[in-house]
Structure 1
Amino acid sequence: MHDLKQAAVYDLKGLNCPLPVLKAKKRLAGMQPGSRLWLETTDPLAVIDIPAFCADSGHQLIEIAAMPDGHRFLVERGEQRP
């Protein structure tokens, strides 16, 4: 089991669609499979875009948490795709 405290936080607050997904995609691409990353967003569409991105890209969405000004998403990096 992963220690949630080891997950880095990627601040995507203030960015609007499609930037949070594009930046998350680039950041996750440089991480090892199984690594976890918190994405923090203020874009209201992120609650649709981030889960869809994870499903399409083979990443696992572990948790979604509401924050006063947006949402946090805990994403686990999926396996490399050929």
Structure 2
Amino acid sequence: MYNETKLQDELAYMDEQMKNVKQKQYDWEKALNPFAKMDAILTMVQDIVDIKNKFINISDQCLNLYTFPMTNQS
């Protein structure tokens, strides 16, 4: 089960992932080869989808943590 510390760790991880996406955007903008551009875009999109899914999971866990605090304590 999640607790506040676990949620903070997950949010820190998501922040790091967003920094990686920004770096990939920079790589995409600097790439000269069209295939390198396409690869950078595809990996960037996949990372964004992963972040979105993690955010949805964290949102659900926050809702559970604060809606039913007595059942989620470790």
- TM-score of the two chains, using structure 2 as the length reference: 0.29
Larger strand fraction of residues? 1
Higher relative contact order (CA 8 A, sep 6+): 2
Larger helix fraction of residues? 2
- TM-score of the two chains, using structure 1 as the length reference: 0.27
Larger radius of gyration: 2
